[in-house]
């Protein structure tokens, strides 16, 4: 009889590392972005996310609740990166209007390009329901308020919401076009910068 100790299959298999809730959340978001990038926003369901991430459906539902909740988290992550990128650049830029305008334009385009082609799809999905559309408008309002406060010192009159909305419309349109490869990123930045300068100087 062999003197070697017999081990059960369960004992021989290495223990599967259990991720913390924060690490698991990060993993799920990374997989979600990957799905949107490769298959589009319509393919992103909580069930498919669970399948791709190799976890159970209840776990995914525990993290996000609904598909709406997942899309909201994705957009909030994009919005947060945009604010961080712009804040960091503004801390080190010159204090002239052209310098500030260039920073805002570069931050907007850079963030959209960083998120890749998936961002336009997430943005479109947010506009597909009243709840998500309200969430998008809330994030946009915070971004517009930051731009307004940053640009106001260079304007002779208070910067109005219409002008800020026009600036955001330009920024979103040309940035998404750059992400889709339709226009050069440098041209996108230039168009946004020109819009910021024009709107600020007109006030």
Q: Please say which residue of 38, 65, 92 terminates a domain.
A: 65
| Residue 130, pLDDT score | 80
Residues of the chain with confidence (pLDDT) below 70: 1-17, 116-119
Domain total for the chain? 2
pLDDT tens figures, 127-184: 777 877 788 888 889 989 999 999 999 999 999 999 999 999 999 999 989 988 999 9
Pair (152, 173) in one structural domain:
yes
Q: How many CB atoms lie within 10 A of CB 21?
A: 10
Pair (112, 176) in one structural domain:
yes
Pair (138, 161) in one structural domain:
yes
- The reported pTM is 0.72
| Residue 116, pLDDT score | 65
Show the domain range for 41: 19-65
Decide if 7 is inside a domain: no
Pair (80, 136) in one structural domain:
yes
Closest CA to 61 of 44, 74, 75, 47: 47
Decide if 38 is inside a domain: yes
Decide if 130 is inside a domain: yes
Closest CA to 190 of 109, 111, 89, 88: 109
79, 99, 193 from 105: Cα distances, Å: 15, 10, 6
| Residue 156, pLDDT score | 92
Task: Enter the DSSP assignment of 14.
Answer: P
Residue 44, domain CATH = 1.10.10.60
CB 105 within 8 A of CB 173: no
| Residue 75, pLDDT score | 84
CB 51 within 8 A of CB 28: no
| Residue 8, pLDDT score | 39
| Residue 111, pLDDT score | 84
The number of C-alpha atoms within 13 Å of 199 and in the hemisphere containing its C-beta is 25
Instruction: Give kind and range of the element (H or E) at residue 10.
Output: helix 9-12
């Amino acid at each position: 009889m062999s003197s070697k100790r017999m081990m059960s299959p369960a004992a021989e298999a290495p223990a599967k590392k259990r991720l913390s809730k924060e690490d698991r959340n990060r993993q799920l978001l990374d997989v979600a972005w990957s799905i949107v990038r490769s298959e589009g926003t319509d393919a992103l369901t909580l069930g498919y996310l669970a399948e791709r991430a190799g976890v159970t459906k209840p776990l995914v539902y525990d993290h996000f609740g609904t598909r709406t909740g997942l899309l909201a988290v994705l957009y909030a992550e994009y919005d947060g990166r945009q604010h961080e990128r712009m804040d960091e650049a503004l801390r080190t830029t010159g204090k002239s209007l052209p310098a500030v305008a260039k920073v805002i334009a570069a931050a907007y385009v850079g963030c959209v390009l960083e998120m890749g082609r998936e961002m336009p799809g997430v943005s479109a999905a947010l506009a597909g329901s009243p709840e998500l559309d309200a969430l998008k408008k809330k994030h946009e309002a915070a971004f517009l308020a930051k731009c307004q406060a940053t640009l106001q010192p260079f304007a002779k009159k208070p910067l109005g919401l219409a002008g800020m909305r026009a600036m955001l419309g330009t920024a979103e349109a040309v940035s998404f076009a750059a992400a889709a490869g339709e226009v050069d990123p440098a041209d996108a930045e230039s168009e946004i910068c020109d819009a910021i300068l024009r709107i600020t100087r007109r006030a």
